[in-house]
Structure 1
Amino acid sequence: MDILSPHALDLESLLLSLFMFTMYNVFIWLKLKNDPIYTIQGATNLARIAWVVSIMEDKNEILAVQTLRNSTMAATFLASTAILLSVGVLSLTGQAENIGNTWHALNIFGSTEKSTLALKILVLLINLFIAFFSFSSSIRLYNHVGFMINTPCTDGNYSSSMTFVAMQLNRAASHFHFGMRAFYFLIPLVFWIFGPLLLVLSTIAIILVVYFLDRTPRLYSDYMTPFGIKACKL
C-alpha cells in the first residue's frame, strides 16, 4: 500500500473516470435493448442489415466491394494512427524529466512523482493498444465479409447466408465503434497528465459530447422505417 499511497488521488480519479465512462456505455446499451434506433450506431446496424439483404438479392458485387473498401480504409487509417500515437507517447518517457515541470504546472492536487507520470503514460499506452486491436479486428472482419457477401448461393436460399454476413458486418462495426470509444477516452487521459481534477472534468465533458454525437436525431428517425422493414427479412 505504501507504493500506491503517492498515487492515491490520481488512481481514485482514474477509477471514477472509468466508472462514469463505463456507466454511460452501459446506459446506451440498455436503451438500445428497448429502442434499436436510440443511437446512430443502432440505426446503422439496421441499415447495414438492410444493405446486406439488398446487395445479396440484387447481386451488386461492385457496390459491396467499394463500400467495404471504404470501411476497411477508415479502420486502417485509425489503426495506424493508434500505433503512431503509441510511438509518440513512448518517446515522452525519455523526456519526462525535462517536461515534467511544465506538465505539472496545473497539477494542484495530484502527485508530481516521476512514478506517477510513468503510470499515466502506461495507461495512455494501454488505451491506445486497445484502440489498435479494436480497429485491427474490424479490418479482419470487413475482409471476411468481402468474401462472404459475394459467395454464390447453391440452393436458391440466401436467408441463412444473409443472416451470417449481416452478423459479421455488424460485428466489424462494433469493433470499430469500440476503437472509437477508446479514442474518445484518450482525451480525458491526456488531461490527466495535467492533474486528476482535469481528468474528472474532461470525462464529464466528453460524455456530454459523445451523448450528443450518439443520439439519433428524432426529427429524422422516420427514415429508418424502410431499413427496418428490409432488415425484417432476416
Structure 2
Amino acid sequence: MEWKESHLDLILVPTGFILMMCYHLGLWYKVRTQPFTTIIGINTSGRRLWVSSIIKDIDKKNILAVQTLRNAIMGSTLMATTSILISCGLAAILSSTYSIKKPLNDSVFGAHGEFMLSLKYVSILTIFLFSFLCHSLSIRFINQVNVLINTPQEPMSPVTPKYLSELFEKGCILNTVGNRLFYTAVPLLLWIFGPVLVFLCYLSLLPLLYNLDFVSCNAHNKNNTTKVEANKGIVVGSENFV
C-alpha cells in the first residue's frame, strides 16, 4: 500500500529533476565548446571587454563602473534575500507542531506520510540554502571588484585587468549558479501539492530556459557573416592602400 501511494513521487519528481540536470549539463558543454551559441558565453566575453574598457579610461568611467557593479550586487542581494526568506519559512513549518498534511490528504496525489512530507521540505530547504550561499559568494566577489577597479594601475601592481576580469567572472558565475538552483527549487515547492505538478512545471520550464539560454541559429550565422565581411573589408582596404 505504501508503494502504491508513493510511486508517483518516486517516478515523476526524480524524472523531472534529472531532465533539468541533463539540460544544464548540455548547456555547460555548449558553453565550453561553442560559447557564442549561448547567452552565457556571449555575456562572458562582453564582461571581459567591459572590464578592459573601463580600466583603460577609468578617470572618466569610474562612476559608471561603480554604478554597474552596484546594480549587479543589488540583483544578487535580492535573490539571496528571497532564498533565505523562503528557507526560514520552510524551517518554521518543519519546526511547527501543526500538521500541514491534514488539509491536503484528500486533494493531491502521492504519498502523505510523515517521512515523505519531511523529505519534501528538507529537499526544498537544501536547494534554497545552496542558492543563498552562491548569491552570498557572488556579492563577495563583485564587492572586491567594486573596490579594486578604481586602484591605480602601476607597472608592478598585482591588480591587473586579467585579475579583475577573473574576479568579476567568478561573481557572475556564482550568481548564475544561484539563479539556476533557485529555478530548480521553485517547481519543487509544488511537490507539497503532489508530484504531478512538479513534473509538469519542469517540462514547461525546459523550453523556456532553452529560449533564454541559446542564441538562434539565424542570428549566430548573421553575426559570423558580418564578422567575415568586416574582415574582408579590412583586407581589401589594406591592399588598396598598398
TM range (shorter): 0.7 to 0.9
**1:88/1:157 CA distance change after superposition, 3 Å:** closer
Aligned match of 2:122: 122
**1:206/1:102 CA distance change after superposition, 3 Å:** farther
Provide the aligned length of Structure 1 versus Structure 2: 221
What is the percentage of aligned positions where both structures have the same residue? 30
Letter of the aligned partner of 1:193 in structure 2? I
Higher RCO (CA < 8 A, seq sep 6+): 1
| Structure 2: distance between partners of 1:149 and 1:82 | 29
**How big is each residue's C-alpha offset from its partner over 1:134-158, in whole Å with a ceiling of 9 and x where there is no partner?**
1001000001111222221211899
CA contact (8 A) 1:31 1:38 kept: yes
Aligned match of 2:83: 82
1:170-185 equivalent positions in 2, closer than 5 A: 170-185=169-184
**How big is each residue's C-alpha offset from its partner over 1:46-92, in whole Å with a ceiling of 9 and x where there is no partner?**
11011001001111221111111111111111111111111122232
SS of the equivalent of 1:141 reads helix
| Structure 2: distance between partners of 1:223 and 1:150 | 34
| Structure 1: distance between partners of 2:36 and 2:104 | 42
Structure 1 spans left out of the alignment, 5+ residues? 227-234
Alpha-carbon shift at residue 122 of structure 1 (Å): 0.6
| Structure 1: distance between partners of 2:102 and 2:121 | 15
**1:133/1:188 CA distance change after superposition, 3 Å:** same
| Structure 2: distance between partners of 1:58 and 1:132 | 35
**1:214/1:104 CA distance change after superposition, 3 Å:** farther
**Greater Cα shift, 15-24 or 127-136:** 15-24
TM-score, length basis structure 1:
0.83
| Structure 2: distance between partners of 1:157 and 1:88 | 47
| Structure 2: distance between partners of 1:96 and 1:6 | 23
Structure possessing the higher radius of gyration over alpha carbons = 2
Aligned match of 1:231: none
Give the aligned CA root-mean-square deviation in angstroms: 2.8
1:98-177 equivalent positions in 2, closer than 5 A: 99-108=100-109, 110-155=110-155, 161-177=160-176
Q: Does 1:193 align with 2:192?
A: yes
Letter of the aligned partner of 2:149 in structure 1? I
Structure 2 spans left out of the alignment, 5+ residues? 228-242
